[in-house]
Amino acid sequence: MGIGGLAGNSRRAASSESNGPGKLVDALACRQHAKRFAPIALAVLVLGALSVGEAVGEGAARADDSDDQFKVQGVLGSLEPAVIEAGFKSGTAAVNACYREGVGKAWFLGGRFEIKARVVADGTVREAQGVAPLGNFEVEQCILRAVRGLRFATTSSSAGEAEVGYSWDFQPKAPLRRWDDSDVGRHFVRLAPKLKACVQSGPTPLGLRVAFFVGPGGEVKSVGLGSDGPITPAYASCVRKRVTDWRFDDPLGRIARATYQFPTPIPPTIRQAR
């Protein structure tokens, strides 16, 4: 979705790195769009697609041809797409390490993880948060810590702060069932009252999203959270515990990765508890 101004597109060639048995794909593809505004520069949310994870057989590494989205937030500085890509690629080893550690505890992990970060004028990252969760809170937090340690190149035009976004696509070891709102929404509607206690732990963030993995018997194996606004640790812990305690449909011999977008505005059953 374009927002005014002139658009510039860049397409980069796919590349991969093999690490012996069970390949880790460091940078399969990256597609970025950038927009500039004059006379004042407004930062845009530049979404790249950096695939990191375990390739499954031939053809697992595919370029992402989806259209990227842009968001403008306030009067901010700007970063060139090449600078953004280079900054995030410098953290590939740390991101891979987070994912490897997670897979060691939950072999089924895979899917997309999208973040946004605020980069200050000196190229350091002031803040980073998950937007679209992977489905494992520990891995998500590990990656966010790695992002906060990145440093982006600066130029004479790198004034103010810039908000940038990035996403990683992790390849699971085995095919997963894919569930979305249409598959799990009825469970969240029915169990929404059980989330009422979580508002005592902190405010409900805007655009709250949850991703989780469901195993045999409908048991939740792992949960992750993302949102458009900040999530307090206590609130995140509460929601994760509630979702983990629930039972969903049985994926029948496979692991399902489910995603759910909480409705906005917040349902009355949750809002009344405030």
- Region 246-272: mean pLDDT is 80
Residue 67: pLDDT over 90: no
Which tens digit of pLDDT belongs to each residue from 153-170?
986 555 678 899 999 999
For 67, counting Cβ atoms within 10 Å of its Cβ (0-12 exposed, 13-18 middle, 19+ buried), the class is exposed
Tell me the pLDDT band of 225, cut-offs 50, 70 and 90. Answer: very high
Out of 137, 170, 203, a domain closes at 170
- pLDDT for 151 equals 94
Least confident among 31-35, 155-159, 206-210, 227-231 = 31-35
Out of 135, 170, 205, a domain closes at 170
Q: Domain check: are 123 and 195 in the same one?
A: no
DSSP string, 239-260: HHHHHHH-B----SSS-EEEEE
152 with 118: CB under 8 angstroms?
A: no
- Region 225-243: mean pLDDT is 94
Q: Domain check: are 29 and 162 in the same one?
A: yes
Out of 170, 192, 211, a domain closes at 170
- Region 130-135: mean pLDDT is 97
Task: Report CA Rg, the chain.
Answer: 19
Q: Domain check: are 182 and 115 in the same one?
A: no
Does 59 fall in a domain?
yes
How many domains would you assign to the chain? 2
Separation of alpha carbons 246 and 31, rounded Å: 38
Q: Domain check: are 13 and 110 in the same one?
A: yes
- Cα angle: 91, vertex 95, 98; to 5 degrees: 145
Q: Which residue has the higher pLDDT, 82 or 271?
A: 82
Task: Tell me if the pTM is above 0.85.
Answer: no
Q: Domain check: are 158 and 202 in the same one?
A: no
Domain around 133: 6-170
Does 1 fall in a domain?
no
- pLDDT for 156 equals 55
